[in-house]
Amino acid sequence: MKFRYKVLMVNLIMLSLSLGIVGYLMIRRNFELARDTQVKNAIMENNLVQSSVEYELLQILYNQARQVQWIEGEISDIGDRVVGGMLAESSSVYIRYADSYVYSSDDAETRISDTLYSELNIGGKNYMICKEGEKYFIYVTSYSEVRNRKLYIVSKQEISDVYRMLEEQISYFRVLIAVVVLTVSVVLYFISIYLTRPLERLNQVAGEITAGNYNVHVAVSGRDEVGQLAGNVNIMADAIQAHILELKEMIRSREQFVADFTHEIKTPMTTIIGYSDMIRSMELSREEQILASNYIFSEGKRLEIMSGKLFELLYLKQHTLKMSPVHTEDLERELRRITVPMLEKKGLELRTDIEPSVLMGDKDLLITVFVNLIDNARKASKEDAVIRLNGRKSLEDACYELEVVDYGIGMSQEDAQHICDEFYMVDKSRSRREGGAGLGLSLSALILERHQAVLRVESKLGEGTTMRVIFYENTKTASEDEETCK
């Protein structure tokens, strides 16, 4: 059953129950008020009859001394006079004296229940409502004593109109509640359609999302719970789509990584296998043996460097860094100690201009980053050139900038955008000749990302390259500024 029909059925059931209970209570209350009024009227009528009969009977008893049989005859005459002058046509009176009926206005005293005479005291009254055929009557009994004998005066009044009114009200209420429920059913049906239409649309959208269509959205109308749910469904669809795109990109990146790694490892392995087979199967001169051994050694070293870089990449992706204060002066001294010897082999000079400051990070990893940047600058620079390492505070941006500047061959804008990708090399032959594997900047970018730092690449072909690293003091992340490698 659809939700709208469930809502409709529940509302109709609650409405019917509410109207039924309220109608029953109101009709019941009106009936009781009308019945109580009839009871009061019957009691008043009985009081009048009793007063009149007793008054005339006392007058006779005071004026004359009569026997019991003469009293009974007088009571009968008094009853005729009282009934003829006071009672309506729908009322009757019965008088019982000395355990026998001495007067009856309609000869129906045999229908009077003995209950009306039980537990009556002088001046007391009993009443009873009885159904006789299709009519309802109320009997009222009063009790007194005359000459030490019991005198009962019973008045009978028809109250069928009260019960007829009850039946008419019940019939009218049944018709009324049927019309009201039918009318309200139609109104509630259209209201339920209007209220559940957004839910049906949400259900359709959920089905489309389940089927893989994440571009579908729900029109958000209103700020109620349904509107909030629609907004959350849209956010969920966008989030799922973004995650799927991210997963696809991750899968593509991993496939590309595996392909690049396979390609990169294939060349040194082919060289090592080829020269090893040459040494094993051929008679070589001493010079040829040394040349073959050098090729095997150099390619083996390249594989060692590549495996080390890959291990560091995997380690950084799975472990949390322990941050500690790093003084820029100490960083400068370590970098000079490590890089100056390899720069001097190519006739390069490292000039530093570092403004003192304290950075939060892992000192060894930061040294790895700047060694990689300086080494890339070395590879791109011509002999007898200068490489600069500058550091300065930026009060305006609340950050500290460290940059490595070279004046070498530079790179294109397209190369600058991909330089941080794994195994990407601008000049593959030169990089392999220099012992590179295309992982240095990938590792550096990951280290900087974990330090919430930003790497900006500025380069022009034939003019040189500037690698600028920005450390934000307010722990601003790279995603809030721009990509780590740009």
Beta-ladder partners of 460: 464
Over the chain, what is the mean pLDDT? 79
Q: Same domain for 414 and 441?
A: yes
* 448 touches 469 (CB < 8 A): yes
Q: Report the CATH number that the domain containing residue 138 is assigned in CATH.
A: 3.30.450
Q: Compute the chain's Rg from CA coordinates.
A: 56
Count Cβ atoms below 10 Å from residue 206 Cβ, excluding itself. 15
Q: For 246-376, where are the E strands, in sequence order?
A: 324-327, 349-354, 358-361
Q: Same domain for 34 and 69?
A: yes
Q: Same domain for 306 and 435?
A: no
261-277: burial string, b at 16+ Cβ within 10 Å, e else = beebeeebeebbeebee
Q: Which region among 42-56, 91-105, 249-263 has the lowest average model confidence (pLDDT)?
A: 249-263
Cα angle vertex 236, ends 231, 238, to 5°? 95
Q: Same domain for 66 and 123?
A: yes
- What's the rounded mean pLDDT across residues 334-357? 89
CA atoms of 110 and 159, how far apart (whole Å)? 20
Report the domain count for the chain: 3
Q: Is the pLDDT of residue 43 over 80?
A: yes
Q: What is the DSSP string of 191-211?
A: HHHHHHHHHHHHHHHHHHHHT
Q: Which region among 71-75, 117-121, 159-163 has the lowest average model confidence (pLDDT)?
A: 71-75
The per-residue pLDDT for 412 is 80
Residue 286's Cβ-side half-sphere holds a number of Cα atoms within 13 Å equal to: 0
Residue at a domain's end among 262, 283, 318: 318
Q: Same domain for 348 and 447?
A: yes
Tokens in use for 225?
Answer: 């719970």
**Domain membership flag for residue 189:** no
The CA-to-CA distance between both ends of the chain, in Å, stands at 57
- What's the rounded mean pLDDT across residues 315-343? 83
The per-residue pLDDT for 222 is 67
In which band, very low, low, confident or very high, does the pLDDT at 82 lie, cut at 50, 70 and 90? confident
The per-residue pLDDT for 75 is 76
pLDDT in tens, 376-402: 888 888 888 999 999 998 877 688 999
Q: Same domain for 23 and 111?
A: yes
Complete edge-to-edge strand list for the sheet that includes strand 125-132: 100-104, 91-97, 149-158, 135-146, 125-132
CA atoms of 236 and 230, how far apart (whole Å)? 10
Name the one residue in this structure whose structure tokens are 């019940």.
Answer: 170
Q: Same domain for 288 and 327?
A: no
Domain of 466?
A: 320-486
| pTM exceeds 0.75, yes or no | no
Q: Same domain for 336 and 285?
A: no
- What's the rounded mean pLDDT across residues 265-275? 74
Q: Which region among 123-132, 356-365, 410-419 has the lowest average model confidence (pLDDT)?
A: 410-419
Q: Same domain for 124 and 35?
A: yes
**Domain membership flag for residue 240:** yes
Q: Same domain for 268 and 335?
A: no
Q: Same domain for 270 and 353?
A: no
**Domain membership flag for residue 39:** yes
* Local structure of 217: helix, strand or coil: coil
* 152 touches 142 (CB < 8 A): yes
Specify the higher pLDDT residue, 474 or 328.
Answer: 328
Q: Report the CATH number that the domain containing residue 412 is assigned in CATH.
A: 3.30.565.10
**Domain membership flag for residue 15:** yes
Question: Closest Cα partner for 348 from 318, 375, 367, 321?
Answer: 375
**Domain membership flag for residue 195:** no
Q: Is the pLDDT of residue 133 over 90?
A: no
The per-residue pLDDT for 294 is 83
The per-residue pLDDT for 203 is 77
**Domain membership flag for residue 177:** no
